[in-house]
Amino acid sequence: MRALSRILIGGLILATLVWLKGQFVKLHESILQLDRLSQDGGLLSHTHMTDNTHGSNSTAEDPLRAVMNAISNSFLNGTIEKLATPKSGLRDTRSKVVVVAKTAKEKTQWISSMLPNWKHAIYVTDDRTAPLHTAKNKGREANAYLTYIIEHYDHLPETIAFIHSHLSSWHNDQNAAKALQLLNIDFVQKNGYANFRCHTTPGCYPAEIQPFRNKKEQAGIDKHEAATERAFAKAWTELFNSTAVPEQIGVACCAQFAVSRDQVLQRPLAHYVWFHSWLMETSLSDATAGRVMEYLWHIIFGMEPVYCPKVYQCFRNVYDIWDILS
């Protein structure tokens, strides 16, 4: 009798383990499916994407990434609906466009499906056969940004958002789609410029670019930052025809921002054409030229050389979020 009991208990345990394994497999498959949707932007889409080739291999190879993305993106729609105000990018009806710089291999399906109420202009920097492309692959995202302004100067929408191609990244305070849908359009129109990143490191405190830092001090900073500093004074003089180079230039990284049409039009088209010509013809490397422009956008669009609002103030202004204390 005791032996029979052990057999029954053992069988029950085995059956339970088999059942649990089956449930885990189903859960894992559901997570992978959620991740594929989130990478395509399907969780906010009115019409789901049908491209089955996107991202499936990398997702299957990294279940942890799948779990994290599935969890964060599955709550995205509800979070936006809860937080969005009438003047946010989700609800505001004024004309707006998101301008994106990408390489041919980068996936940007999330933009059209997660931002159905934004027009979009996606420039490919390394494929001249793409519908929208840059003249050459130089200057990082600055090339695409300037190309859009030059091509659309006479018929710009009221709000233009310039972003990178990825949905999530270390230098985004939040999911890029969430940032665009929560963007306070009233603030963009009033201020003329809004940086999507509110956290001030890197870029501020201390100011990232100090063109007149001595060589000993410069030896202690990041090599890319040092290269940008060494190039900055000469670039400033060439770009603005001015020797009044600021002693400090600071802004929260990393060249993702929104501007108003009126602010863009504060400069004549010839300025943007010149900036683009400089970018294409400078002897600076692709990375250094792009970084120089990264720390000039806020100045080009009317802000002071050091533009570093407090984190809480930035969230209040840019996203109309008031519960950020730090």
Q: Are residues 143 and 200 in the same domain?
A: yes
Separation of CA 190 from chain center: 22
In a domain, 51, yes or no: yes
Domain assignment of residue 272, given as a range:
85-207+225-319
From 286, 42, 14, select the one nearest 141 (Cα to Cα). 286
Q: Are residues 68 and 119 in the same domain?
A: no
From 144, 150, 139, select the one nearest 163 (Cα to Cα). 144
What confidence score (pLDDT) does residue 240 get? 97
DSSP class of residue 42 equals: G
What confidence score (pLDDT) does residue 234 get? 97
Q: Are residues 49 and 123 in the same domain?
A: no
Express as a percent the part of the chain with pLDDT over 70.
77
Question: 4-18, 31-45, 252-266: which range is least confident on average?
Answer: 31-45
Q: Are residues 183 and 91 in the same domain?
A: yes
Instruction: Check whether 88 has a pLDDT greater than 80.
Output: yes
In this structure, what token pair is assigned to residue 265? 């039009």
Residue 200, CB half-sphere, CA atoms under 13 Å: how many?
17
What confidence score (pLDDT) does residue 85 get? 84
In this structure, what token pair is assigned to residue 304? 């002071």
DSSP class of residue 153 equals: G
Q: Are residues 44 and 183 in the same domain?
A: no
In a domain, 25, yes or no: yes
Average pLDDT over residues 188-213: 94
What does the pLDDT look like over 242-278, one tens digit per residue? 999 999 999 999 999 999 999 999 999 999 999 999 9
In a domain, 325, yes or no: no
Q: Are residues 145 and 187 in the same domain?
A: yes
Interatomic CA distance for residues 56 and 64, integer angstroms: 14
Residue 125's SS3 state is coil
Q: Are residues 50 and 132 in the same domain?
A: no
Interatomic CA distance for residues 217 and 202, integer angstroms: 17
Interatomic CA distance for residues 221 and 230, integer angstroms: 12
In a domain, 215, yes or no: no
In a domain, 36, yes or no: yes
What confidence score (pLDDT) does residue 309 get? 96
Mean pLDDT for all residues in the chain: 83
Number of domains in the chain: 2
In this structure, what token pair is assigned to residue 44? 């906010």
In a domain, 216, yes or no: no
Environment class of residue 223 by beta-carbon count within 10 Å: exposed (0-12), middle (13-18) or buried (19+)? exposed
Picking from 74, 103, 124, the residue at the C-terminal end of a domain is 74
In this structure, what token pair is assigned to residue 246? 């600021």
Picking from 53, 74, 95, the residue at the C-terminal end of a domain is 74
**Chain position carrying tokens 């519960």:** 323
DSSP class of residue 320 equals: -
Is 303:193 a contact under the CB 8 Å cutoff? yes
Q: How many CB atoms lie within 10 A of CB 80?
A: 20
Instruction: Check whether 45 has a pLDDT greater than 50.
Output: no
What does the pLDDT look like over 15-30, one tens digit per residue? 776 676 666 555 544 4
Instruction: Check whether 310 has a pLDDT greater than 90.
Output: yes
Express as a percent the part of the chain with pLDDT over 90.
63
Is 107:78 a contact under the CB 8 Å cutoff? no
In a domain, 306, yes or no: yes
Q: Are residues 150 and 48 in the same domain?
A: no
Is 66:130 a contact under the CB 8 Å cutoff? no
From 87, 76, 116, 160, select the one nearest 316 (Cα to Cα). 87
Q: Are residues 127 and 22 in the same domain?
A: no
Q: Are residues 30 and 96 in the same domain?
A: no
What's the full length of the chain, in residues?
A: 326
Interatomic CA distance for residues 252 and 201, integer angstroms: 6
Q: Are residues 229 and 183 in the same domain?
A: yes
- Whole-model pTM: value is 0.76
Q: Are residues 118 and 173 in the same domain?
A: yes
